[in-house]
């Protein structure tokens, strides 16, 4: 894979709002639109490196919050960064961990495992670890320093991601803090190969989304991420918020819709000009027995698959579909065999990767609208 010292994006073609592009990074090229498998803690759950590579990922996503807590930054520094630590030669994007600081605190409040608490200040955010209850303090500058040690190709700045629903005043406060922290993040970023994206907030409020987008663009970032969505709002609200931002975002920079999502979400968002996606859905669903096919999702544990000699998806070229039947996979899942989760995860990630390949091909051939129509005719959820 050819590598590049300088991060840059090249827009190759547009078709019905969809964009075909290429991102150049020090660890290789990324063809867009692209889906990034989530490797939160330096691994994509249930898969070895060889398993993962068989699904043909171009880039993976890791999380600053989780890596900071475990294995800890001192260890990553000793190993020369995450690429070497996990023996991964391809690009890595790291989320800042801002979302996890708030979401995991809320989760722990429900479970009561640790007395989780978050204190938001102008300087940063103080929080308790979801692992042991110890106190920590993230500032925009520290988050950049951590990601510098991780060595990711694309960094996300510390931001404030409000829940849904949220009041207009709370959403506006999140926009303001995110912008102030972005300026500090940019100032703290070393002049090296790593790219830094700006994150747009504003919840579902049109005026705030527009304001956040325009003010973030003024800072001339390496790319732009649309945050604060896929947190429980109706899909149409998410699409509207995305459209508000993409109509103003510069064409010569990559656009990343954070935490999205279903195959339908991806197709709709590609049509609205998004280039990059990530979501735990394919891996998490695979571990629970929900598998994606060209005809919709299936529950592999269902009794109707007991005697099926068919693959998960006859149109799929993954290792699982080439070698194993639905009947066998159902047995593995119901027997709670780890192999079932492994095979299911391989399939789901390859399904997503192939979906993106087909999307890119349709844009290149100027038939994205036809592709979208055909997809919906076959995919029943």
Which tens digit of pLDDT belongs to each residue from 22-74? 999 999 999 999 999 999 999 999 999 999 999 999 999 999 999 999 999 99
Domains belonging to the chain, first-starting first, are: 8-279 (3.20.20.105), 286-369 (no CATH)
Tokens of residue 321, six digits: 């579909």
Q: What is the pLDDT of residues 135-150, one digit of tens each?
A: 999 999 999 999 999 9
Instruction: Report the C-alpha gap between 282 and 286 in whole angstroms.
Output: 6
Three-state SS for 119-137 is EECCCCEEEECCCCCCEEE
Averaged over 283-310, what is the pLDDT? 98
Look over the chain and give the mean of its residue pLDDT values, rounded to a whole number: 95
Q: What is the pLDDT of residues 72-129, one digit of tens each?
A: 999 999 999 999 999 999 999 999 988 888 787 666 555 555 555 899 999 999 999 9
Q: Counting every residue, how long is the chain?
A: 381
Q: Taking the model in full, what pTM does it have?
A: 0.96
Q: Residue 121: CB partners within 8 Å, gap ≥ 6?
A: none
Q: Residue 373: CB partners within 8 Å, gap ≥ 6?
A: none
Q: Which residue numbers are catalytic? A: 95, 278
Q: What is the pLDDT of residue 126?
A: 95
Instruction: Report the C-alpha gap between 185 and 234 in whole angstroms.
Output: 31
Q: What is the pLDDT of residues 187-201, one digit of tens each?
A: 999 999 999 999 999
Q: What is the pLDDT of residue 104?
A: 79
């Amino acid at each position: 894979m050819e590598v590049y010292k300088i991060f840059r994006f090249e827009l190759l073609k547009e078709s019905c709002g969809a964009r075909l592009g290429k991102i150049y990074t020090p660890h290789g090229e990324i063809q867009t639109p692209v889906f990034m498998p989530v490797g939160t803690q330096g691994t994509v759950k249930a898969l070895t490196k060889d398993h993962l590579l068989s699904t043909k990922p171009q880039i993976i996503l890791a999380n600053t919050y989780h890596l900071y807590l475990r294995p800890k930054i001192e260890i990553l520094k000793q190993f020369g960064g995450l690429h070497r630590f996990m023996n991964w030669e391809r690009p890595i994007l790291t989320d800042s961990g801002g979302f996890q600081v708030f979401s995991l605190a809320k989760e722990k409040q429900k479970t009561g495992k640790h007395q989780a608490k978050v204190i938001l200040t102008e300087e940063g955010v103080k929080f308790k670890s979801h692992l042991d209850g110890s106190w920590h303090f993230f500032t925009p500058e520290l988050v950049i320093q951590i990601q510098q040690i991780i060595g990711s190709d694309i960094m996300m700045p510390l931001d404030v991601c409000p829940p849904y629903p949220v009041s207009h005043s709370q959403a506006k406060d999140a926009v303001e803090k995110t912008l102030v922290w972005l300026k500090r993040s940019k100032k703290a970023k070393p002049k090296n190969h790593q790219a830094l994206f700006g994150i747009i907030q504003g919840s579902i409020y049109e005026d705030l989304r527009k304001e956040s987008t325009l003010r973030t663009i003024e800072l001339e970032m390496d790319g732009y991420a649309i945050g604060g969505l896929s947190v429980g709002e109706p899909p149409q609200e998410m699409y509207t918020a995305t459209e508000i931002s993409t109509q103003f975002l510069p064409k010569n920079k990559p656009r990343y819709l954070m935490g999205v999502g279903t195959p339908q979400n991806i197709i709709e968002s590609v049509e609205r000009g998004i280039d990059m996606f990530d979501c735990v859905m394919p891996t998490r669903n695979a571990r629970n027995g929900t598998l994606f096919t060209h005809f919709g999702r299936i529950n592999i544990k269902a009794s109707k698959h007991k005697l099926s000699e068919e693959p998960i998806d006859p149109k799929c070229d993954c290792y699982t579909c080439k070698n194993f039947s639905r009947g066998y996979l159902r047995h593995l899942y119901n027997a709670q065999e780890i192999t079932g989760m492994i095979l299911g995860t391989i399939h789901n990630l390859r399904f997503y990767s192939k979906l993106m390949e087909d999307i890119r091909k349709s844009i290149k051939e100027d038939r994205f609208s036809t592709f979208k129509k055909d997809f919906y005719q076959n995919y029943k959820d």
